């Protein structure tokens, strides 16, 4: 049995952010970062976003995708990561 057949635990694959989330952040909310600079491990705080910015993100998502998110659907805080937001959006779309 070789270790080549097992997935590497030292370098897990980095999940990509949904293009829709990146577009909302860079287009609608004017986050000062290039789309390729955004990663799932970044926090909203690191992008200069606060609680009000997160509410604007939810409203922009609702308008862009024509959905109404339940109040408890997105439990995001400034310390939340973009990866957590991507997962939350995945569950409601």
As for how many domains the chain has, the answer is 1
pLDDT tens figures, 43-77: 999 999 999 999 898 888 888 888 777 666 567 89
* Phi-psi category of residue 88: left, alpha or beta, with phi > 0 → left and psi -120 to 50 → alpha: alpha
Model-level pTM? Answer: 0.73
**66: domain CATH number?**
1.10.1200.10
Average pLDDT over residues 24-32: 87
Q: Is 34 within the bounds of a domain?
A: yes
Instruction: Inform me whether the pLDDT recorded for 34 exceeds 50.
Output: yes
**Which of 2-6, 12-16, 61-65, 73-77 tops mean pLDDT?**
61-65
Q: Say how far apart CA 19 and CA 6 lie, in whole Å.
A: 30
Residue numbers of the domain that contains 24: 17-92
Report the number of secondary-structure helices (H) and strands (E) in the chain: 3, 0
Residue 67 is predicted with a pLDDT of: 77
Average pLDDT over residues 78-85: 92
Neighbours of 22 (CB within 10 A): 19
Q: Say how far apart CA 50 and CA 66 lie, in whole Å.
A: 24
Q: Who wins on pLDDT, 67 or 13?
A: 67
Q: Which residues contact 26 (CB under 8 A, 6 or more apart)?
A: 33, 34, 35, 38
φ and ψ at residue 62, rounded to 5 degrees:
-60, -45
């Amino acid at each position: 049995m070789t270790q080549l057949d097992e997935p590497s635990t030292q370098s897990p694959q980095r999940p990509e952010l949904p293009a829709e989330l990146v577009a909302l952040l860079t287009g609608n909310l004017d986050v000062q970062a290039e789309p390729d600079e955004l990663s799932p491990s970044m926090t909203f705080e690191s992008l200069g976003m606060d609680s009000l910015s997160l509410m604007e993100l939810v409203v922009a998502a609702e308008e862009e995708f024509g959905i109404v998110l339940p109040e408890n659907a997105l439990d995001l805080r400034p310390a939340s990561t973009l990866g957590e937001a991507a997962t939350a959006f995945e569950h409601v779309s």
